[in-house]
């Protein structure tokens, strides 16, 4: 038994890369050991920005010995006239066998020469060395880089590798970096390197140097430290635990400190102050009674002789950022909303599709149609994008994530009605599926904005394919669906859904607002078809995400209903009905009706069989089905969207249809008789296909 330790030392990894990488690294080593039957008592993985660490305790020194059966050539190749052939001799020589080791094995293909061979297990360190390159190169990162001539790719340059099998150094490498017995400590440590003789010594050295290998322990240190500062400064909350989770992977020796800033900056919106702290510096803002305090908390990496100097340095950095924010704020406020709106004309929205001002004007017109020309909604649409022209937002500054909210603050600063200002903030909602929904007016602007984004991208050919979706069109389509269904949190609230009758018709209105110069000649219909198909697929995907079976989704979506809310309601109802014992039998019967009509149209080259004439029917079964159908059709129309009642009507009608199929040949030689029967089946198929397309239901 022996302890095994790996440490891959790197330049600082991005925070989001670390946890998935070390998990994959650990799992891959486990798999390699298990594949060879190698046992161990305990394993642990650790990660900091500068190191990925694995520890396996009491690992077996070799894989188990085993006995393998070896199959050689067939008997007729091994023996000629009872004497061994060269094939026999080569098999014996290759596998180092004697006459006592071999026997004849009877198989399905005949009799073959065979042997059982005892094979000694390979040493664990050999197996690890063999698997190492494969494991290392497979560690997943969103992006990898090359930094030397070795051609090795990793998220960041590898600077050292520690690989110990007990006290023995394993011969491994990562690109041009060979494994050694040296680890590196904190950058400000003296000395900053340490030779390690065993895995257990490694953990002692890390602890003494102040490096906290465990993310869980760092998280605890950070949160406890922040909460201590919250209490110390009389605050009642901080921003935010999500930021703390990121900081866990930005430091390896956390020390929680606090600084302050001048009260004059409190005239800025609190979200701007918080963004100045958090976006680049990863500082935590403190609040009391909902108001931001002129202090900040930060997590330093390591210990210092003078914490006061570290605090002053961070205060200077924050002051510079707040000075920038104050300048942007004053500059933008002095311009006013109208000037910022006009400046949108100088910003290209999408190459060939005009400026942001032109896009904004389309939003106003689309919003008018959605809101019955509500003046507040239209004014909100007009000012929704003004912050994109502002100093605070443009050019990808740290405040970009406040887009929408900044526009709201500017509007409020100029005494624009709060209802209008709220639209500027909320028209981006929901940014992703399940987030909070905006108010009704903002929802109209949000639908207009997202639909226009999708149409514009399709006009330019930026259509999502596979994993590529540079304009996040899938996400925007999902958000539109959430708005229409009233999906928030993890629940659909149809009463909160936006009352849009037809998404297809809305996309048509979007396209019409583009000038002829912007639209590819002769391709408008094709673009619209692509947009509609894309949106339909997103709707189906979201219904499936809501745990509605795929065949129910397809059956409901392949109907003439235009309202997404109605389709959802119907899908939910038929999901429930599909649990009934008779459901699949009903589907099978009326799928047969559909198939007969389709096949007859193809074979007879006819699109329509007209209206059934009761005078032509002669068989009692056909007459009974026709009479029952007239009553059923009337009841179904009266039932509206009470789908359980509709299904009961269809179920009762099914028994009559089954008798008809058992006794009557639809494709009669008499053309008049045949076409009249087909006309009746066509009528049945047409009505049921308005409700649910049974062709898609899995009946087995």
Residue-wise pLDDT tens digits, 405-446: 999 999 999 999 999 999 999 999 999 999 999 999 999 999
Answer with the one of 533, 548, 572 that is the final residue of a domain: 572
329 and 263 assigned to the same domain: yes
Do residues 437 and 536 share a domain?
yes
Same domain? 431 vs 285:
no
> Do residues 528 and 611 share a domain?
no
Residue 344 · residue 385 · CB < 8 Å: yes
- pLDDT score at 146: 94
Long-range pairs for 364-371: beta carbons < 8 A, 24 or more residues apart: 365/513, 366/447, 366/448, 366/451, 366/452, 366/506, 366/509, 366/510, 366/513, 367/444, 367/445, 367/448, 369/509, 370/444, 370/447, 370/448, 370/498, 370/500, 370/506, 371/441, 371/444
Summarize pLDDT for 230-246 with one digit per residue, the tens. 999 999 999 999 999 99
Same domain, 270 and 320: yes
Whether the pLDDT of residue 589 is over 90: the answer is yes
Per-residue model confidence as pLDDT tens digits over 244-266: 999 999 999 999 999 999 999 99
Compute CA distances 57 → 3, 166, 213, 610, whole Å.
Answer: 5, 10, 17, 81
Global pTM? 0.82
Same-domain check for residues 472 and 619 = no
Q: What angle do CA 670, 675, 676 make, to 5 degrees?
A: 100
How many angstroms separate the CA atoms of 686 and 560, rounded?
11
Side-chain half-sphere of 331: how many Cα atoms within 13 Å? 13
pLDDT at 522: 83
Q: Give the Cα separation of 678 and 660 in Å (integer).
A: 13
Name the pLDDT band for 116 (thresholds 50, 70, 90).
confident
What is the distance between the alpha carbons of residues 542 and 564, in angstroms, rounded to a whole number? 11
CA dist 510 and 503 (Å) reads 11
- Structural contact between residues 155 and 145, judged by C-beta atoms closer than 8 angstroms: yes
Please list, in sequence order, all residues whose beta carbon lies within 8 angstroms of the beta carbon of residue 140, skipping any fewer than 6 positions away.
20, 21, 24
Exposure of 149 in the CB half-sphere (CA atoms within 13 A): 0
Rounded (5°) CA angle 449-450-451: 95
CA distance 647 to 428: 41
Which pLDDT score is estimated for 675?
95
CA distance 447 to 454: 11
In angstroms, the Cα distances linking 550 to 357, 539, 575 are 42, 12, 10
Total domains, the chain: 5
414 and 288 in one domain?
no
> Which percentage of the chain shows pLDDT scores above 90?
89
pLDDT band at 68 (very low <50, low <70, confident <90, very high): confident
Q: What confidence category does residue 108 fall into, taking pLDDT thresholds of 50, 70 and 90?
A: confident
Give residue 269's pLDDT band: very low, low, confident or very high (50, 70, 90). very high
Q: Are residues 256 and 320 in the same domain?
A: yes
The most confident of the ranges 109-118, 371-380, 664-673 is 371-380
Q: Say if residues 446 and 427 touch (Cβ distance below 8 Å).
A: yes
Task: Quote the CA–CA distance of 473 and 350 in Å, as a whole number.
Answer: 14
Domain C-terminal end among 209, 226, 246: 209
* Average pLDDT rounded to a whole number, residues 19-47: 96
Q: 183-213, pLDDT tens digit by residue?
A: 999 988 888 999 999 999 999 999 999 999 9
Half-sphere exposure of 131 (CA within 13 A, CB side): 20
Residues 14 and 137 in one domain: yes
Angle (nearest 5°) at CA 399 between 397 and 405 = 145
Q: Determine the straight-line distance between the first and last CA of the chain, rounded to whole angstroms.
A: 55
Q: Is the pLDDT of residue 578 over 90?
A: yes
Residues 406 and 543 in one domain: yes
**Per-residue pLDDT at 378 exceeds 90:** yes
Band of residue 404 on the pLDDT scale cut at 50, 70, 90: very high
Residues 406 and 441 in one domain: yes
* Confidence class for position 100, pLDDT limits 50, 70, 90: confident
Predicted confidence band of residue 317 (pLDDT cuts 50, 70, 90): very high
The predicted structure's pLDDT at residue 555: 96
The domain in which residue 73 lies consists of 66-119
User: Is 66 exposed, middle or buried, given 0-12, 13-18 or 19+ CB atoms closer than 10 A?
Assistant: exposed
The b/e string for 236-254 (b: 16+ C-beta within 10 A; e otherwise) is eebbeeebbeebbbbbbbb
Per-residue model confidence (pLDDT) at position 394: 87
pLDDT computed for residue 144 by the predictor? 96
Q: Which residues pair with 53 in a beta bridge?
A: 7, 46
The answer to whether 19 and 215 are in contact (CB under 8 A) is yes
Is 478 in the same domain as 411?
Answer: yes
Any idea how long the chain is?
700
509, 538, 572: which is the final residue of a domain? 572
User: 81-119 in b/e burial notation, b at 16+ Cβ within 10 A?
Assistant: eeeeeebbeebbeeeebeeeebeebeeeeeebbbbeeee
pLDDT over 80 at 60, yes or no: yes
> What would the pLDDT profile of 523-551 be if each residue is shown by its tens digit?
899 999 999 999 999 999 999 999 999 99
Residue 648 has pLDDT above 80, yes or no: yes
The 10s digit of each residue's pLDDT in 653-700 is 999 999 999 999 999 999 999 999 999 999 999 999 999 999 999 987
């Amino acid at each position: 038994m022996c302890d095994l330790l790996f440490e891959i030392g790197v330049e600082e990894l991005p925070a989001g890369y670390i946890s998935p990488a070390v998990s994959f690294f650990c799992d891959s080593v486990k798999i390699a050991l298990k594949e060879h039957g190698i046992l161990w008592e305990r394993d642990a993985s650790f990660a900091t920005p500068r190191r990925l660490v694995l520890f396996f305790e009491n690992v077996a020194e070799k894989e188990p010995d085993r006995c393998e059966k070896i199959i050689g050539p067939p008997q007729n190749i091994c023996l000629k006239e009872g004497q061994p052939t060269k094939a026999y001799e080569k098999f014996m020589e290759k596998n180092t066998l004697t006459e006592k080791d071999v026997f004849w094995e009877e198989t399905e293909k005949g009799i073959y020469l065979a042997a059982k061979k005892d094979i000694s297990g390979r040493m664990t360190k050999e197996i690890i060395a063999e698997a190492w390159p494969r494991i290392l190169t497979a560690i997943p990162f969103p992006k990898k880089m090359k930094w030397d001539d070795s051609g090795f790719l990793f998220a960041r340059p590898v600077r050292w590798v520690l690989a110990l099998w007990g006290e023995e150094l394993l011969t491994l490498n990562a690109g041009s970096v060979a494994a050694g017995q040296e680890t590196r400590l904190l950058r400000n440590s003296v000395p900053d390197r340490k030779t390690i003789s065993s895995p257990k010594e490694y953990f002692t050295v890390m602890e003494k140097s102040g490096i906290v290998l465990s993310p869980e322990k760092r998280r605890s240190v950070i949160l406890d430290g922040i909460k201590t500062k919250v209490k110390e400064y009389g605050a009642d909350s901080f921003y935010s635990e999500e930021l703390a989770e990121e900081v866990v992977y930005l430091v390896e020796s956390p020390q929680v400190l606090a600084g302050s800033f001048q009260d004059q900056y409190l005239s800025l919106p609190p979200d701007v102050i918080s963004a100045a702290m958090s976006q680049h510096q990863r500082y935590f803002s403190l609040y009391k009674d909902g108001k931001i305090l002129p202090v900040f908390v930060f997590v330093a990496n390591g210990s210092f002789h003078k914490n006061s100097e570290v605090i002053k340095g961070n205060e200077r950095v924050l002051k510079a950022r707040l000075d920038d924010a104050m300048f942007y704020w004053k500059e933008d406020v002095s311009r006013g909303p109208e000037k910022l709106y006009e400046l949108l004309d100088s910003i290209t929205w999408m190459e060939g599709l005009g400026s942001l001002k032109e896009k904004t004007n389309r939003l106003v017109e689309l919003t008018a149609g959605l809101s019955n020309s509500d003046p507040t909604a239209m004014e909100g649409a007009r000012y929704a994008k003004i912050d994109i022209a502002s100093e605070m937002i443009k050019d990808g500054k740290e405040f970009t994530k406040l887009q929408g909210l900044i526009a709201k603050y500017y509007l409020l600063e100029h005494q624009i009605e709060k209802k209008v200002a709220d639209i500027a903030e909320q028209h981006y909602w929901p940014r992703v599926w399940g987030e909070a929904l905006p108010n009704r007016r903002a929802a109209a602007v949000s639908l207009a904005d997202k639909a226009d984004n999708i149409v514009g991208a399709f006009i330019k050919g930026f259509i999502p394919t596979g994993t590529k979706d540079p304009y996040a069109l899938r996400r925007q389509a999902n958000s539109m669906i959430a708005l229409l269904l009233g999906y928030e949190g993890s629940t659909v609230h149809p009463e909160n859904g936006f009352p849009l009758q037809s998404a297809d018709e809305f996309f048509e209105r979007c396209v019409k607002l583009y000038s002829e110069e912007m639209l590819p000649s002769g391709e408008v219909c094709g673009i619209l078809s692509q947009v509609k198909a894309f949106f339909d697929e997103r709707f189906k995907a979201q219904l499936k995400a809501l745990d509605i079976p795929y065949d129910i989704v397809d059956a409901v979506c392949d109907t003439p209903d235009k309202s997404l809310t109605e389709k959802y309601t119907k899908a939910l109802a038929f999901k429930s009905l599909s649990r009934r014992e008779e459901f699949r039998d009903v589907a099978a019967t009326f799928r047969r009706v559909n198939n007969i009509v389709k096949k007859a149209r193809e074979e007879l080259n006819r699109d329509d069989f007209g209206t059934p004439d009761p005078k032509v029917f002669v068989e009692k079964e056909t007459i009974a089905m026709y009479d029952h159908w007239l009553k059923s059709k009337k009841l179904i129309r009266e039932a509206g969207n009470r789908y359980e009642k509709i299904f009961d009507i269809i179920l009762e009608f099914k028994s009559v249809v089954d008798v008809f199929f058992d006794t009557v040949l639809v494709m009669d030689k008499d053309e008049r008789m045949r076409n009249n029967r087909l006309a009746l089946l066509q009528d049945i198929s047409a009505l049921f296909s308005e409700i649910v397309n049974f062709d898609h239901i899995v009946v087995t």
